[in-house]
Structure 1
Amino acid sequence: MHGELTTPGIKVAASTVWEILTSQGIDPAPDRAATTWADFLHSQADALLACDFIETVTLTTQRQYVLAVIEHVTRRIRVLGTTAHPTAACVTQDARWPWTSLAHRPPTRT
């Protein structure tokens, strides 16, 4: 909270923030952070997608970039597109596919 207050230029001591939180019965942040990374991923799996480029070389020695997405809830990997020369427009177009098609189907847990 102290950092968030100083960003817009509000001058307040960290100890003052601590005193206010303690007087209201709010524990320091480390005590409130009982959620583990694994718990977070499990609770948010329906909404999480991870994407990355995979660089590969074909049998004809042509370099290809494959845009792939993994759905955390199903652990399925989907190839969205491949190109020899990825551009912002190409990636944007390929990235629209999972948002439109995955948003319209119910989540399935395995």
Structure 2
Amino acid sequence: MLSRAAAVDSATALLRKVYPEKSDSLVMLPEESVEYAYGWTISFDWKEHIQTGDWMMSPITSVVVVPHNGEKAHFPPSVFPVDDYMSRRASGDWPPKE
């Protein structure tokens, strides 16, 4: 199983790669992270959103999924709630079979 610290590191690396212009604004929130059977959900925010409370300055999604099985960290799909996505991944019901 992947530790919370390793999951936070993986999520941080993904966010710095996807949002290089926001590196100085990135605030990881490991205390809000949740462990599921499939992996961790690692929470984050931008300093500007934390300082102002202005939702227009918040990230579109504030969670990165870091699977326990070594798959790449990724953003959950927005089609259903994170808890539902994590449950589907653990049971093998996602991604859909073709």
Instruction: Tell me if TM exceeds 0.5.
Output: no
Q: Structure with the greater relative contact order (CA < 8 A, sep ≥ 6): 1 or 2?
A: 2
Q: Which has the larger radius of gyration?
A: 1
TM range (shorter): 0.3 to 0.5
State TM-score, norm by structure 1. 0.32
